[in-house]
A = this chain, B = another copy of it.
Amino acid sequence: MPTERPRRRIPEATVARLPVYLRILSEQAEEEVESISSDRLAELAGVNAAKVRKDLSYLGSYGTRGVGYEVAYLVYQIRRELGLTHDWPVVIVGAGNLGQALAGYGGFGERGFPVAGIVDVDPGKVGTVLGGVRVRHIDELSQIVQSKRVNIGVVATPTAAAQDAAERLVRAGVTSILNFAPVVLSVPRSIEVRKVDLAVELQILSYHEQRRATTSTLRSVAGGIGGGPGTNGQVGQVGQVGQGGQGGQGGQVGLGGTAATSRPASA
């Protein structure tokens, strides 16, 4: 079993898809599927088969022509490439609505991101236990980060406090931040920041809804602008998509979208 070093630098767009492949492959492994073709994997992931092959080719791990990929080996390779060979403890700043939901969610620990700690400024929150972890005061942040060797921090404070939270995280030694507050954080360029902004997601959906309404108005002059539900409910027929092409994605610096539109075929 070759332990080749990551040969090329992996494109961000590919990095963003690897976790999806990984989840699917892990599921397949549980169902005792030993081998999988790029076609099948593409179908399950809702992407183009050529894209799957190209993505996987960056791993340097080879499939077998005429056969497909060995699921277990692929899982191993992707996990290694993503740095998932060991856990990455995370620390959450802000134990409000969202922080509590995150802490109470077991999915992170399962996927290798155990919650090493939750901190808050509110004395009323300190001491309460969320998802098995006791909320501690924010002054203990540095100590938690250092003793638990935390590299990843999550900002779940109100908007006004997000910049402060980020700075505290950076000072404490965190090098990657996942930010839920709808603000652009200012941090040293060496820090990797990713943003999840639900309002932005909804606004993008709104744009498409609005566009849908406008377009149909042009065709059927009757349609009101408010745009009632389209009620075309054809749920059964799944639309395997012709993958409407588009520029890349990736956690690029500028801004960039947040979610991905997908519409794959089910099994």
Question: What is the interface of chain A, defined by CB distance below 8 A to chain B?
Answer: 6, 10-13, 15-20, 22-23, 44-48, 51, 81-84, 86, 88, 90, 97-98, 100-102, 104-105, 107-108, 111-113, 145-146, 149-152, 163, 167, 170-176, 178, 182, 184-214, 226-235, 237-239, 241, 243-266
Contact = CB atoms under 8 A, between A and B. Distances in A.
Total copies of this chain within the assembly: 2
B83 A230 contact: no
A186 B149 contact: no
A201 B196 contact: yes
Contact of A230 (B10, B173, B214): B173
B206 A88 contact: yes
Contacts of A197: 19-20
A145 B229 CA distance: 8
Nearest to A166: B235
Contacts of A243: 253-254
Given A47-B255, A175-B229, A235 B170 contact: yes
A139 to B, nearest CB: 16
